Structure 1
Amino acid sequence: MDIFRVLSRGASLKKSKQLVTDYALPSGQKTHSQKKKEVHVEKEVDREIDFFKTNKFKELAKSQELKDEEEEIDAVNDIEEEEEEGEGEGFEGPSPRVKTEEEAHALRKSYKANVTGDDIPLPIGSFEDLIARFKLDQRVLSNLIDAGFTEPTPIQSEAIPITLFDRDIVACAPTGSGKTLAFLTPLVQQLKTSQRKGLKALIISPTKELAQQIFDECNKLTKRTDVKTAILSKSLSGKLKNNIVKKDKFDLIISTPLRLIDVVKNEALDLSTVERLIFDEADKLFDKNFVEQTDEILSKCSNPKLRRSMFSATIPSSVEELANSIMVHPVRVIIGHKEAANQQIEQKLVFCGNEQGKLIAIRQLIQEGEFKPPVLIFLQSITRAKALFHELLYDRLNVDVIHAERTQVQRQEIIDRFKKRDIWVLICTDVLARGIDFKGVNLVINYDVPNSAQAYVHRIGRTGRGGREGKAVTFYTKEDSVAIKPIVNVMKQSGSDYDKWMDNMTKISKNEKKRIKNGQIKRKDISTVPKIVKQKRRQKTDMIEASKKRKRLELLEKEFNEKQVIISDD
């Protein structure tokens, strides 16, 4: 719903020009889809101001669903009419905004882009440039505008033309800068114009949540097109294995590595036809936990025309070396600093002394009015996440917890509730640190210091997305004196304020970095329960266990005696 259109209803208008509102065309000049859109906006307004959730709009829900299908058909007809009109008039689209190397250099300088490689394509200055330069499909452009994307972000300006020129790409841009759209837009255009049948593209994501988000965004761009996309869920995996769904049904599949490998091993998918392979969160997919799986996927994609793309907010040197070994003349795109965080995020370090001090620090944030929901809190383990959840429940906060022990359905439900603001505070492990787009998160708290600079950048990147401002607070104790050093370096590169004495901290060694990354820092339990209460609970538990043990022994002794009696009688 466009709130600015609603607020403009009382504006003065020139009646001589047949205007009905200050943002609208004269009613006689409106297309059928524009009129329907205005009616939809009015209904949205009425629904939004129905604060007490009366039944008035519930009754309209079923009829609205039936109308949606008719509206889609009408919208397709409108687009087809516009395309026919455009063809009749010899429509070629507006001339590109960026035409020369000088203009490209000025544009790249404005958003601090470092682009290297051979024969680098010019960036785009607007989405309309794609019509003139690449004959972008009208439906794809219409879907972009309908989804609220009007101007390309820096990473989109660079990555879209590079991909449409059939080049391999390694792209690094801050969190929340529109990387998903940067690889989906050219991909949908390429799939739309491809004449070949069968699986043409793969998008690999390290987590199911991120894969689902990419799939949802992809659906927005493929609306009213014939591009067939799917997320490789457990259900679809089973259908492919049992040949209920044909292996060549989809043009694009989005998946996590293990599930894809499982399906390929069962010969339910053929990856030799894949021409586009995209790694989202590439640094995670090429680290020691995923690299074997990623390598196996690459070996199955044997098409000589295969084009590879890597996207992430952090690309370490080791990942770049791997990229150069598997790619053909890749173009390297870095927006801003390679290891820096989003500059829209205000970063802060808070020394808490010990574990009890962290709980006090959270309660202090609440008292001082800095704890503004929605809030994300990150911890290093599932045990600690559960413990903090129970502690904050006692404070009567609207809180929930998400981690790897919860089922996929539970995790998705919690994410949806958090996005709808039904949950104010979400406690999580690093399962949600990457890629997930929570719009409007005001505060990220690192309750435990992350184990690397990359993990820190991705965690705090859940706030400050899409041009909004955000805040990130990291708690640290005496145990974190070494682990805090990479965090300080990120803050320096991002231009954030920090205590100047931290400049004198010795540089972290390779062995220290490896030790922090491989093993979690041992921490005391999260609890405000007094020691004497804990001791009484332990005594009670021990007494119950001793009683159960005694009863088991008595039962065994009784059974033994009964058997002895039977033997003596015989």
Structure 2
Amino acid sequence: MDILKLLSRSTKQTARTSKDAPSTKLPSAGTSANPQLFHDAVPEARGKKRKRGGDVEQTRAHDEEEESINFFETSSAASKAEKASAPKKTAEEPASTPEKVATKATTELLDEAECRQLLRSHRLKVTLLPSSKPDKVVKKSKKKKAVETSKKEEYKQVYPQPLVAFNDLRSTYGISGRMAENLVQQGYKIPTEVQMGSLPLLLRPKTALGDAIEEAEDSDGEVHVDLLAVAPTGSGKTLAFLIPVVDRIIQRRRTSQDKEHILEAIVVAPTKELATQIVNEARKLSLGTGVKVVGMRKGMQITPRDSPEGEVDDISEDEEEQEEDGSDAEKPKKSSQPAVKADILVSTPGLLFSALSGKNSDQATLLTIRTLVLDEADVLLDPLFRDQTLGIWNSCMNPDLRVTLWSATMGSNIESLTSTTIQARRSLLGLPSSHIIRLVVGLKDSAIPNITHRLIYAATEPGKLIALRQLLHPTAKSADETQSLRPPFLVFTQTIPRAVALHSELLYDIPSEAGGSTRIAVLHAELSDTARSNIMARFRNGDIWVLITTDILSRGVDFRGINGVVNYDVPNSGAAYIHRVGRTGRAGREGGVAVTFYTKEDIPYVKAVANIIAASEKAAGKKESEAGMKRWLLDALPTPSKQEKKKLKMHGVEARRGGLGEKSKDGKGKGKFKAQISTKSGYERKLENNRRGAIQGSKRRMEAEKEEHNGEDSEWGGIDE
């Protein structure tokens, strides 16, 4: 055997495998050790500081001792000097890794300077919103400065106590021991940024804020705080609002002698999938605590119609049989449907609003609700759900009601609407003004920085189909010599017909050896609840690799193992893009890819997506030479007007509104069905259409002849004898 050939072969083989080996940094590769998105270095303090959390600060005295070490001494002398200069380890000294930091509880509170440093290192900004709407800026030059200064005074930035580790929830904020055990069993150690900033504010506002705000206490003795949280997708917002809700109910049940289930909290989510996910997470968190969590179903009743408002029937929600009216005239008549018996209710706005309104015009009043949570608040307060959401909000008449709003994107109009509604409701009940706090993580209305964005020009609809088929091959390489997108991944389309058409086109693209058509599925709002739940379960279990869907799955749904997202159709807005691509790279996982195809029809609307990509790459620390979004492309793209943005948000790109393509306006037929998702030529589609029309016409003629023949038979009485 030639040893030179053997060595050269092994060398080439090693080089080939290392080059073609897939990247290990994938969201589906495993869990992230640190779910936090931002880890900015804390600047060294001037003078001696206490050591808290994960911020290791060196003091001046320690620096002077290090400078006095003589490195030209013998090894024994040098080791003695190092031992003498090394600080003694104490129980409060922070560990070097986030896992060790999370295992140590901080019982002492930080001072304002330490809170400011820690919040800034995690890019947390907490602002106390004004109690009333600030004055508008006057255009006159003399009054402009005075108005601007008053406006700045209205918005006050505060520095509350941050949550360093989940162990502090038990020691510092006094949550239930059973719930603390549930958090440990689920593997929660290091809080994310939104959990770090929001949990102290919602659990113990007095402890978190100190003397930063004036006290306006509720009946439970805590400062009344309403929260608006804007945090990136996948940053743990669901856990951030569930822990305070469950803890508040546990504390009430602990001090109260009445152990019955009273509806105290309502969580509103825009889609059924998100509502189901919240119910599952809440049940894991409240396991063994006695707190009952129920998901809203069609036909479920919140309060008995014929009983006094606010009272809840002592009937379990699982009893489906109708009860007959009692003979005793003194007892109130019970409705045919029993009222829900739970502590926390999770629902979509449509189901809950219809249950509160019922057949009568009068809307039921909920006097027991003490917490209202609006998840994905920007879409819930959008014109699509605004009336239903505000109707639910106005039904909650408890004076101790706390409102929290959560989303990855929240415009100024949503913020002003929220402040106005909260203050108007409290003034109606004769209560003092509420403390409305806004928490922003990172850059407001931006995509997460730990995923890779690709904006690909496909020119036409067939070009997008070809590009998507290339992504289905794991060994294929893109034009920039990067690895192709690996399943599982999501594909978003603009309309339901386009999602169905794309599914039929890709149904047989995956080889039968790999599972064939069972690996691709489509999910949209026209499917039944059972079918949607089945598809979601198969996708989470890994049976489905490519899931084609609409914006129904773009918000809140947690897929921790998604390797990427494909925007087959350009999103209707920048917020829609942020929520779509946020399905990957969740909980700090790296390696997610977001691919967006655009054609000639999309060019007027791509700039919003391009700006978000540029901001995300800048937040990730990429240099201009390494960034995928080039400056020349941003300058070349046209800027859409407000009218065009509004039109796009409401209806999407005009060429794809019909789903399978729009006819051309000219009479010659050029460009007909240019937005069709198909690889067939126009002539083949024409033949199929003619054949389909001939078959339908033949069926209609046969039915007409049959009806005519049946009519003759009915009139004919037979042969007379």
Q: TM-score category by the smaller chain?
A: 0.7 to 0.9
Structure 2 contact 562–583 (Cα < 8 Å) conserved: yes
1:110 aligns with 2:121: yes
- What SS does the corresponding residue of 1:394 show, helix, strand or coil? coil
- TM-score, normalization: structure 1? 0.79
Match of 2:110 among 83, 90, 99: 99
Match of 1:276 among 354, 371, 391: 371
Structure 1 contact 120–162 (Cα < 8 Å) conserved: no
Match of 1:123 among 159, 162, 174: 162
Question: Offset at 1:262?
Answer: 2.3
Looking at structure 2, the residues matched to 502 and 551 of structure 1 have their Cα atoms a distance apart, in angstroms, of 60
Match of 1:250 among 335, 342, 345: 342
Q: Where do residues 424-463 of structure 1 align in structure 2 (5 Å cutoff)?
A: 424-463=545-584
Structure 1 contact 191–251 (Cα < 8 Å) conserved: yes
Name the counterpart of 1:203: 267
What amino acid is aligned across from residue 114 of structure 1 in structure 2? K
Match of 2:175 among 136, 142, 146: 136
1:520 aligns with 2:584: no
Q: Where do residues 10-29 of structure 1 align in structure 2 (5 Å cutoff)?
A: none
1:230-281 Cα offsets, whole Å, 9 max, x none, are 1112375599789653647311111111111222234997522101100000
Looking at structure 1, the residues matched to 638 and 697 of structure 2 have their Cα atoms a distance apart, in angstroms, of 53
Closer, same or farther: CA 269–152 of 1 in aligned 2, 3 Å:
farther
What amino acid is aligned across from residue 111 of structure 2 in structure 1? T
1:421 aligns with 2:542: yes
1:336 aligns with 2:480: no
1:501 aligns with 2:623: no
1:319 aligns with 2:414: yes
1:469-511 Cα offsets, whole Å, 9 max, x none, are 2110000000001221110111122126213222213432211
1:544 aligns with 2:695: yes
Question: Offset at 1:559?
Answer: 6.6
Looking at structure 2, the residues matched to 461 and 97 of structure 1 have their Cα atoms a distance apart, in angstroms, of 36
1:114-136 Cα offsets, whole Å, 9 max, x none, are 11116663221112222333212
Closer, same or farther: CA 560–409 of 1 in aligned 2, 3 Å:
closer
- What SS does the corresponding residue of 2:605 show, helix, strand or coil? coil
Name the counterpart of 1:178: 236
1:188 aligns with 2:246: yes
Name the counterpart of 1:476: 598
Looking at structure 1, the residues matched to 392 and 302 of structure 2 have their Cα atoms a distance apart, in angstroms, of 19
- What SS does the corresponding residue of 1:298 show, helix, strand or coil? helix
- What SS does the corresponding residue of 2:294 show, helix, strand or coil? strand
Closer, same or farther: CA 538–227 of 1 in aligned 2, 3 Å:
same
Looking at structure 2, the residues matched to 341 and 278 of structure 1 have their Cα atoms a distance apart, in angstroms, of 23
Closer, same or farther: CA 226–559 of 1 in aligned 2, 3 Å:
closer
1:96-116 Cα offsets, whole Å, 9 max, x none, are 365111111111111111111
What amino acid is aligned across from residue 511 of structure 1 in structure 2? Q
Structure 1: gaps spanning 5 or more residues: 5-92
Question: Offset at 1:562?
Answer: 7.5
Question: Offset at 1:326?
Answer: 2.3
Looking at structure 1, the residues matched to 535 and 701 of structure 2 have their Cα atoms a distance apart, in angstroms, of 44
Question: Offset at 1:418?
Answer: 0.6
Looking at structure 1, the residues matched to 384 and 682 of structure 2 have their Cα atoms a distance apart, in angstroms, of 39
- TM-score, normalization: structure 2? 0.63
Structure 1 contact 283–312 (Cα < 8 Å) conserved: yes
Structure 2 contact 302–340 (Cα < 8 Å) conserved: no
Structure 2: gaps spanning 5 or more residues: 1-29, 32-103, 129-155, 206-223, 307-312, 317-337, 423-433, 478-482, 511-515, 618-626, 657-674
Greater per-residue helix proportion: 1
- What SS does the corresponding residue of 1:272 show, helix, strand or coil? coil
Closer, same or farther: CA 404–168 of 1 in aligned 2, 3 Å:
same
Closer, same or farther: CA 200–552 of 1 in aligned 2, 3 Å:
closer
Aligned length: 478
Closer, same or farther: CA 565–241 of 1 in aligned 2, 3 Å:
same
1:436-493 Cα offsets, whole Å, 9 max, x none, are 0011100100000000011110011000001112110000000001221110111122
1:372 aligns with 2:503: no
- What SS does the corresponding residue of 2:604 show, helix, strand or coil? coil
1:137-157 Cα offsets, whole Å, 9 max, x none, are 211111111111111111001
Question: Offset at 1:542?
Answer: 2.1
Looking at structure 2, the residues matched to 331 and 273 of structure 1 have their Cα atoms a distance apart, in angstroms, of 24
What amino acid is aligned across from residue 492 of structure 2 in structure 1? F
- What SS does the corresponding residue of 1:437 show, helix, strand or coil? coil
Name the counterpart of 2:226: 168
- What SS does the corresponding residue of 1:127 show, helix, strand or coil? coil
Looking at structure 2, the residues matched to 162 and 441 of structure 1 have their Cα atoms a distance apart, in angstroms, of 32
Looking at structure 2, the residues matched to 216 and 565 of structure 1 have their Cα atoms a distance apart, in angstroms, of 66
Looking at structure 2, the residues matched to 499 and 269 of structure 1 have their Cα atoms a distance apart, in angstroms, of 55
Looking at structure 1, the residues matched to 230 and 697 of structure 2 have their Cα atoms a distance apart, in angstroms, of 59
Question: Offset at 1:556?
Answer: 5.9
Name the counterpart of 1:47: none
1:353-380 Cα offsets, whole Å, 9 max, x none, are 1000011111222232513111100001
Closer, same or farther: CA 499–553 of 1 in aligned 2, 3 Å:
same
